[in-house]
Structure 1
Amino acid sequence: MTYFTQTIKVLAVTAALALPALVFAAEPAMEKGGMFTDHKGMTLYTFANDKDGRSVCNDKCAQNWPPLMVEGEAKPSGKWTVITRDDGKKQWAYDGKPLYTFIMDKKEGDMTGDEKMDGAWKIAKPD
């Protein structure tokens, strides 16, 4: 095998391994059954008290409702946007609404956070 052939094979393997990361970065969540889930299949929620693309769920709230955090250098696309939290970290939002999981959802498909706090928490759905 020549040096050129080995180099081509290494580049092909590197590209194949990088492709899933690029796809993941492009789509922070998935649509499943008319609602959004994270890549682990956990239900995503929006919080009615969030306004103007800003999260007000911090501290104890964020412990119970973990934000859908931005991984790496992901960029906004279409209705998917990136907001900056009060602590300076980046969080995903859809159509200006920050997204969260719920600590009481234990397995894929759980939706125990829907309508919590007098309906302030709702399952995130595409428009």
Structure 2
Amino acid sequence: MRARMGILALPALLATLVACGNEAPQQVAQQEVPVKAEVKIAQSDLGPILVDQSGRTLYAFTKDENKSNACDADCIAVWPALTAQSEVEAKDGADTKLVSQIEESSQAVYGKWPLYYYVGDQVPGDLNGQGVDDEWFAIAPDGKLVKKTS
């Protein structure tokens, strides 16, 4: 009797696995690197800071050194990187000389700082990541960290 129950349950288990397998390509598609990204300067409660083309605040991680990313997988889950398939463009007051990318990851860099978003920022202009763990800071137009709080 138990053997028959196991055999009867097998098709349901396989159907579940097949259904789950169909979700993976959709998740990968959502994580694709955008073709283009822009950085610009916007006014905030901290003064002028670097934002993306949508006005979302961009942050630097103090453990990053000389255009290298020290943010591991757990970190990236909370602090997603600003990436682009093509070059990142400087607009509206951002210094073109300070904009570059890390080749192997396509992550945007401003000055010496790889750029990140904070998942706790819900709308353009939010500064919820400012000063988190005394390691995450918005970036000024000159490429220096803005260490004050709003």
Same fold (TM over 0.5): yes
C-alpha distance in 1 between matches for 2:118 and 2:88: 24
Please tell me whether residue 30 in structure 1 is matched to residue 43 in structure 2: no
Distance 1:107 1:75, change over 3 A: closer
Identity %: 26
Once the 2 structures are TM-superposed, how far is the Cα of residue 78 of structure 1 from its aligned partner?
A: 1.2
Please tell me whether residue 115 in structure 1 is matched to residue 131 in structure 2: yes
C-alpha contact (below 8 Å) 2:87/2:100 kept by paired residues:
no
CA RMSD in angstroms comes to: 1.9
Letter in 1 for 2:62: A
Distance 1:75 1:39, change over 3 A: closer
C-alpha distance in 1 between matches for 2:123 and 2:53: 12
Please tell me whether residue 62 in structure 1 is matched to residue 82 in structure 2: no
Letter in 2 for 1:78: K
C-alpha distance in 1 between matches for 2:77 and 2:112: 21
What residue in structure 2 maps to residue 89 of structure 1? 105
TM-score, normalised to structure 1, is 0.70
What residue in structure 2 maps to residue 103 of structure 1? 119
TM-score, normalised to structure 2, is 0.60
Mind listing any 5+ residue stretches in structure 1 that lack a counterpart?
1-23
Higher strand share: 2
Letter in 1 for 2:117: T
Q: How many residue pairs end up in the alignment?
A: 98
C-alpha distance in 2 between matches for 1:75 and 1:114: 23
Once the 2 structures are TM-superposed, how far is the Cα of residue 52 of structure 1 from its aligned partner?
A: 1.7
Once the 2 structures are TM-superposed, how far is the Cα of residue 75 of structure 1 from its aligned partner?
A: 6.2
Deviations 1:29-77 (A, max 9, x none): 110010011111110100000012101112010110010102x321684
C-alpha distance in 2 between matches for 1:96 and 1:47: 11
Moved over 2 A (4+): none
